[in-house]
Amino acid sequence: MISNRFDGDWKLRTRIAIAASLAIGLAAPTGACAGFLSSTGPVIAIMGGELFVGEAEGHLGGAGTITIHSQRVPALACAGDFTSSAALGGSGQLHCSDGTVARFWFTRLSIFNGHGSGSFSRGPMSFAYGLTAEQAAPYLTLPDGKKLVSDGTGLVLVDL
């Protein structure tokens, strides 16, 4: 009798843990999860009038990392970290291979995507993460006379 009671409690606890995980977003669509407690998604950024793309990995606790590179000069890469919460949004910093730095702040649209702005050594910064280029467009401040398009291999900034 005692072992059946404990077996029942274990099954109930397991069901509750799974339900709680789903409710707070631990489960993600297939392919979106880098690990059970983290999620990786695309980043599109305009920094100092230049397009940068890459990805961010966020962890359940709110901390994460970001790596992006310039589309015009692929050797120009930036990496950094961030912290976030649903209530307060998030903030972070990037250090780039040419010595430039960026500090940024963002608002979560969901646990998997959001948008933000910041300051970069060469000018303002705007970005979106976890969104397609079309979804990100309202959150990106493009240079005057430019538009963001896909050239078949990736995103590029082109003249209007």
Of the candidates 145, 141, 160, 151, the one whose C-alpha atom is nearest the C-alpha of residue 51 is: 141
**Average confidence score pLDDT of the chain:** 84
Let me know whether 71 and 60 are in one domain. yes
Segment 62-80 shows an average pLDDT of 96
Q: How confident is the model at residue 28 (pLDDT cuts 50, 70, 90)?
A: very low
Let me know whether 90 and 71 are in one domain. yes
Let me know whether 24 and 52 are in one domain. no
**Over 60: is that where the pLDDT of 119 sits?**
yes
Let me know whether 11 and 74 are in one domain. no
Let me know whether 111 and 69 are in one domain. yes
Let me know whether 21 and 100 are in one domain. no
Q: What is the rounded distance in angstroms from the CA atom of residue 94 to the CA atom of residue 60?
A: 21
pLDDT in tens, 83-111: 998 888 899 999 999 999 999 999 999 88
**Over 50: is that where the pLDDT of 30 sits?**
no
Q: How confident is the model at residue 48 (pLDDT cuts 50, 70, 90)?
A: very high
pTM, to two decimals: 0.76
Structure-token match 């392919």, residue found: 31
Let me know whether 5 and 43 are in one domain. no
For residue 17, give its domain range: 1-30
Let me know whether 26 and 56 are in one domain. no
